[in-house]
């Protein structure tokens, strides 16, 4: 017996707002039944687990122990610039001059994620 990943959960202060932001990141819409003010909001990814946004009362206080690593369809530096322009924050820039490495960003609620090399 094994288990499969059903969803990736994000605790957040405003489920709908954060899901809308991540919708821009992954290029897929928030579920059509979800509305502003909902405690739970999802983004269904066609080739992967669902992104699940769960409203919680407490703020994020420490570094994530699990995070997403994203491989963009465009060059990494362009994707980093796009996401910074959309409201992400640079946490740690680990990009190397030879193109290796990655950038650690945080979404508007402080959840860390990495941008890996693109094509």
Per domain, the residue ranges of the chain are: 1-59, 61-119
1-59: CATH topology is 3.30.720
CATH 2.170.270.10 fits 61-119, yes or no: no
State both tokens at 82: 């796009």
First to last CA, the chain: 36
- Reported as type and span, the H/E element at residue 11 is strand 7-12
Predicted TM-score of the model (pTM): 0.92
Give residue-wise pLDDT tens across range 16-71: 999 999 999 999 999 999 999 999 999 999 988 999 999 999 988 888 888 999 99
Burial class (CB in 10 A: 0-12, 13-18, 19+), 43: buried
Q: Which of 104, 103, 99, 105 is nearest to 119 (CA)?
A: 99
């Amino acid at each position: 017996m094994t288990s499969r990943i059903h969803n990736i959960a994000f605790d957040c202060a405003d489920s709908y707002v954060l899901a809308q932001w991540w919708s821009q990141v992954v290029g897929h819409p928030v579920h059509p039944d979800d509305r502003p003010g909902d405690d739970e909001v999802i983004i269904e990814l066609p080739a992967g687990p669902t992104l699940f946004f769960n409203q919680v009362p407490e703020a994020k206080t420490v570094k994530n122990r699990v995070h997403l690593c994203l491989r963009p369809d465009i060059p990494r530096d362009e994707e980093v610039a796009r996401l910074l322009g959309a409201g992400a924050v640079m946490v740690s820039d680990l990009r190397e001059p030879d193109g290796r490495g990655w950038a650690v960003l945080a979404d508007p609620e402080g959840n860390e994620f990495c941008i890996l090399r693109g094509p």
